[in-house]
């Protein structure tokens, strides 16, 4: 079985490019060029230089001593929270802006839900001096004021999406409409391993720097390049794709994906796509998504905005269906407790998305000699108000 993408842009039954005719030229231009351009030595040099000096890579692989002791296993944390802007998302936006420049684009558009991808996109646009327009649901603009302010401060224009539920999917529709109208000068930066081929593969390749570093770091820490288990939270699936990437075909490595169960899988307020999803098409790719019996996409729910997505990328749908990865779902309460525990055992306040991955240790035992690598996808500063309300910290 092959777990990475095939020539046609599929992961098993999932993936592909299900797009309106009018979007075809844009997506086709990317598909024909992304591998060639990103393989050029000059591209690689520019990408690696920015990852090093701007993002702060390589991020440490840190042995979490007290957490390991508590759960009687060997836990390493891949510190993506130490990246510039506070999470892994910038690895992808750096890669895509360099690609956009080489395709001759002088205008960037993006969609954002909670605003994290919008901030990562606005950041690289400021870095390169390129015009940036971020579509965001009007309701999300109200809910995520600090990220809206960040984007504006970075020089981006934030355009509200006023249709539908005024949230992420409406922002995505607006971004697609914009791209159709501006096929020549504009590149659309998608923020996760979702969307039509080649986006899932392209984003996974940019994020794959995470597992490439883990291989080197484990070699010196443990004398072997692979862990026994690799763990990540999955919203769309980009931080997970990054830390799984070089281990996809390595059967000695158990892959664990952690999804958000929200208030509980059966409560109707959840984002646990593998448990609840059925095959369908969202944002141009065939994947698993939460839908009603007649195929309407269901509103997802999670306390963490970054996991609040009704689908997963096609790579993850395939990892689930093929049984290659173990899928676990974690409730809001379990995640919040794990976030507090990591703060107090290791002095690291994680993003609430990331806290879901750490709740795994209460749910599932690991052997004392087993090496478990957890992707610490982001820091918790952005979530402080949610932590404050939940734990009544003030
Ligand atoms: C956005 C985000 C996620 C979820 O996105 P993926 O594409 O699934 O990685 C997870 N963690 C953090 C910190 C995020 O900002």
Give the residue carrying structure tokens 């996409």: 297
Of the residues 199, 244, 351, which should be mutated to test ligand 1's pocket, given the most ligand atoms within 8 Å of the CB? Answer: 351
Q: How far apart are CA 14 and CA 198, in angstroms?
A: 13
Burial 195-212 (b: 16+ CB within 10 A, else e): bbbbbbbbbbbbbbbbbe
Q: How far apart are CA 121 and CA 50, in angstroms?
A: 14
Do residues 117 and 147 touch, judged by C-beta distance below 8 A? no
Extract the tokens encoding 136.
Answer: 């965001």
Q: How far apart are CA 66 and CA 60, in angstroms?
A: 17
Of the residues 59, 88, 200, which should be mutated to test ligand 1's pocket, given the most ligand atoms within 8 Å of the CB? Answer: 88
Extract the tokens encoding 353.
Answer: 């998305």
Of the residues 307, 309, 383, which should be mutated to test ligand 1's pocket, given the most ligand atoms within 8 Å of the CB? Answer: 307
Give a three-class secondary structure readout of 142-172: HHCHHHHHHHHHCCCEEEEECCCCCCHHHHH
Q: What is the DSSP letter of 378?
A: B
Helix (H, G, I), strand (E, B), or coil: what is residue 191? coil
Measured in degrees and rounded to the nearest 5, phi and psi for residue 358 equal -75, -25
Do residues 376 and 349 touch, judged by C-beta distance below 8 A? no
Extract the tokens encoding 375.
Answer: 């992707």
Q: CATH number of the domain at 56-86+208-391, out of 3.10.105.10, 3.40.50.2000, 3.40.50.1100, 3.20.20.370?
A: 3.40.50.1100
Query: Is the beta carbon of 351 within 6 A of some atom in ligand 1?
Result: yes
The stretches of the chain forming alpha helices (DSSP H) are 24-39, 41-50, 65-71, 89-102, 116-128, 138-143, 145-153, 168-181, 199-207, 209-222, 238-244, 273-276, 314-321, 332-346, 352-358, 360-363, 384-391
Q: From residue 269, give the alpha-carbon distance in Å to each of 142, 303, 330.
A: 21, 10, 13
- Of ligand 1's listed atoms, the one at least distance from the Cα of 207 is 9
Q: How far is the CA of 114 from the centre of ligand 1 (A)?
A: 10
Show me where the domains of the chain are located: 18-50+89-202, 56-86+208-391
Residues (pLDDT < 70) of the chain are none
- Catalytic residue annotation: 89, 111, 377
Query: Is the beta carbon of 375 within 6 A of some atom in ligand 1?
Result: no
pLDDT score recorded for residue 191 = 96
Closest C-alpha among 89, 98, 138 to residue 118: 89
Q: How far is the CA of 239 from the centre of ligand 1 (A)?
A: 6
Q: How far apart are CA 232 and CA 242, in angstroms?
A: 9
Domain at 18-50+89-202, CATH class: alpha beta
CA angle 14, 238, 87 (to 5 degrees): 170
Closest C-alpha among 23, 375, 43 to residue 179: 23
pLDDT score recorded for residue 305 = 86
Query: Is the beta carbon of 233 within 6 A of some atom in ligand 1?
Result: yes
Extract the tokens encoding 89.
Answer: 């998302």
Is the pTM for the entire model greater than 0.85? yes
Do residues 346 and 63 touch, judged by C-beta distance below 8 A? no
pLDDT score recorded for residue 309 = 86
Q: How far apart are CA 59 and CA 94, in angstroms?
A: 16
Query: SS3 breakdown of the chain: % helix, strand, coil, rounded to 5?
Result: 50, 20, 30
Query: Is the beta carbon of 113 within 6 A of some atom in ligand 1?
Result: no
């Amino acid at each position: 079985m092959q777990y990475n993408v095939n020539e046609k842009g599929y992961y098993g039954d999932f993936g592909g490019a299900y797009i309106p005719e009018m979007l075809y030229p844009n997506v086709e231009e990317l598909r024909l060029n992304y591998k060639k351009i990103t393989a050029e030595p000059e591209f690689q040099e520019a990408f690696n230089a920015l990852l090093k000096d701007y993002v702060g890579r390589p991020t440490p692989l840190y042995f979490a001593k007290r957490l390991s002791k508590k759960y009687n296993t060997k836990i390493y944390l891949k510190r993506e929270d130490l990246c510039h802007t506070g999470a892994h998302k910038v690895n992808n936006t750096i890669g895509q802006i360099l690609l956009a420049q080489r395709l001759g684009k002088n205008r960037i558009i993006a969609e954002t839900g909670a605003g994290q991808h919008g901030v990562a996109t606005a950041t690289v646009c400021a870095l390169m001096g390129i015009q940036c327009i971020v579509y965001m649901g009007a309701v999300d603009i109200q809910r995520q004021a600090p990220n809206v302010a960040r984007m504006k401060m970075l020089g981006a224009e934030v355009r509200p999406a006023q249709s539908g539920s005024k949230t992420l999917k409406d922002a995505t529709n607006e971004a697609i409409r914009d791209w159709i109208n501006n096929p020549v000068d504009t590149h659309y930066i998608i923020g996760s391993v979702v969307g039509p081929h080649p986006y899932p593969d392209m984003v996974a390749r940019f994020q794959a720097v995470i597992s490439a570093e883990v291989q080197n770091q484990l070699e010196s820490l443990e004398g072997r390049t692979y862990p026994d288990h690799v763990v990540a939270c999955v919203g769309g699936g980009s931080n997970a794709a990054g830390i799984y990437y070089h281990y996809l075909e390595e059967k000695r490595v158990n892959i664990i994906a952690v999804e958000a169960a929200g208030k509980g899988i059966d409560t109707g307020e959840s984002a646990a796509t593998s448990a609840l999803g059925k095959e369908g098409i969202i944002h141009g790719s065939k994947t698993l998504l939460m839908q009603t019996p007649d195929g309407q996409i269901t509103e997802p729910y999670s306390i963490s905005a970054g996991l609040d997505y009704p689908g997963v990328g096609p790579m993850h749908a395939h990892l689930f269906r093929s049984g290659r990865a173990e899928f676990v779902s974690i409730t809001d309460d379990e995640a919040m407790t794990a976030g507090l525990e990591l703060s107090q055992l290791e002095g690291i306040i994680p993003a609430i998305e990331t806290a879901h991955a750490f709740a795994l240790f209460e749910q599932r035992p690991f052997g004392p000699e087993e090496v478990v690598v957890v992707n610490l996808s982001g820091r918790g500063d952005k979530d402080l108000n949610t932590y404050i309300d939940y734990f009544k910290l003030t």
